[in-house]
Amino acid sequence: MDNFLFYLVSGICAGALYALIALGYSMVYGIIKLINFAHGEFYMAGAYAGFGVFTLLPQSMPGYMQIPIILAASGIAGALVAAITERVAYRPLRNSDRLTTLLTAIGVSFLLQGLATFINKANPLQYSGDLPGSIGELSQRAVNVGGAGISLFKIIYIFVAIILSGLLWLLVMKTSFGRAVRAVSQDARAAALMGINADSVIQKTFMAGGFLAGVAGSLAAFQSVVDPMMGFMPGLKAFIAAVLGGIGSIPGAVVGGFAIGVIENMALYFGVSSGYKDAAALVTLIAVLLVMPGGIFGKSSREKV
């Protein structure tokens, strides 16, 4: 049991980010049955916006005060990009068949990635760790878990993920907006007849998902770098997490996110070489679709042929 605890905790930390992204996938799929391929790009947009705000903040400001500002800015940026994407790309296709919208979503994802390559000529941006007390330096501080150091920041991810997903759950289950979301996801037409503005509800759902993804983007960027492709793999894994948890379900997305994080780090623990780490999540996807396509909290969706 040498490093078991270390891998477990790393997995939970990575899973916290997947959970944040997966929530958006799951809500959007629940409401308009669209696999929003561009969701990973909301995460990337949040990371870029967070870095942009960071460069505007005075360097003398301590890192722990900068972090909330950066997270809020990246969340808002993610929500804005999500709202614009929904309005421009997805709303005109509301009544088209699902493959058309899926292809459009892939196109949007590639478009956003392509646009991001113009920022800093696609060179990765990094929070510098030179100044003591700056974000870059804080992110290098580690706590000892199971014989190896885990960054203090990663532990914070877990709390951020749990708090934000709890807030989202309250929003969906306890407010009138949440009731509207649930009504539209059951039957958009009937909800519209009850006086709910379905388009606006859908747009706000996108914004909520984009906000969470944007926050996750900045959280990830503190630890590594900001680059145009950063959203692809986490986005894919978060989608897998949403499927694993049962797409459309909020607790499912959180559980699925943590599960994917743990699965891929357990794969490392059990001797899978780190090059194949990403494959572990993808194999999980195919296995889940095979064994229980509805996921843990979802309904079965197998096609009868």
Partner 1 sequence: MGAEFESFMALAGVYAILAISLNLLCGLTGVLQLGHAGFFAAGTYAAAITSIYFTIPQLGFFNIFISLAAGVTASAIFALLLGIPCLRLRGDYLAIATLGFGEIMRLCLNNLQLPGGKMFPDDESIGGPTGLSFTEFPGDLWTKFPDYSAQYAKNWVIWLAVFISFIIFLNIKNSSFGRAMMCIREDETAAKSLGISIPKYKMLAFILSAVFAGTAGVLFYHHELRALPDNACLMLSIEILLMLVLGGMGSFSGALMAAVVLAGLPFVLRHMNAGEYRQIIYALMLILIIRLKPDGLAGMKEIGDFFRRTKK
Contacting residues toward partner 1, per CB under 8 A = 35, 89, 92-93, 98-100, 102-104, 106-111, 113-115, 117-118, 232, 236, 239-240, 243, 273, 275-276, 278-279, 282-283, 285-286, 289-290, 293, 301-303, 305
Structural tokens at position 121: 């000529």
* Angstrom distance (rounded) from CA 255 to CA 156: 18
* Angstrom distance (rounded) from CA 300 to CA 91: 27
- Dihedral angle sign, alpha carbons of residues 12, 16, 21, 27: positive
For residue 38, with 0-12 CB atoms within 10 Å meaning exposed, 13-18 middle and 19 or more buried, which class applies?
buried
**CB of 283 vs partner 1, minimal distance in Å:** 7
CA dihedral 128, 227, 85, 167 (to 10 degrees): -50
- Nearest residue to 146 (alpha-carbon basis) of 240, 35, 269: 269
Which is nearer to partner 1, 143 or 286 (by Cβ)?
286
**CB of 109 vs partner 1, minimal distance in Å:** 8
Phi/psi of residue 289, nearest 5 degrees: -60, -30
124 — alpha (psi -120 to 50), left (phi > 0) or beta? Answer: beta
Which is nearer to partner 1, 26 or 218 (by Cβ)?
26
**CB of 155 vs partner 1, minimal distance in Å:** 29
Which is nearer to partner 1, 60 or 300 (by Cβ)?
300
Which is nearer to partner 1, 48 or 127 (by Cβ)?
48
Q: Are 41 and 108 in contact (CB under 8 A)?
A: yes
**CB of 278 vs partner 1, minimal distance in Å:** 6
Which is nearer to partner 1, 6 or 239 (by Cβ)?
239
* Angstrom distance (rounded) from CA 222 to CA 51: 9
**CB of 116 vs partner 1, minimal distance in Å:** 10
Which is nearer to partner 1, 243 or 259 (by Cβ)?
243
Structural tokens at position 203: 């747009």
* Angstrom distance (rounded) from CA 249 to CA 169: 10
Q: Are 177 and 171 in contact (CB under 8 A)?
A: yes
**CB of 89 vs partner 1, minimal distance in Å:** 6
- Nearest residue to 182 (alpha-carbon basis) of 273, 136, 274, 250: 250
Which is nearer to partner 1, 62 or 92 (by Cβ)?
92
Count CB-CB contacts under 10 A for residue 147: 11
**CB of 136 vs partner 1, minimal distance in Å:** 28
Phi/psi of residue 185, nearest 5 degrees: -70, -25
**CB of 171 vs partner 1, minimal distance in Å:** 26
Which is nearer to partner 1, 29 or 153 (by Cβ)?
29
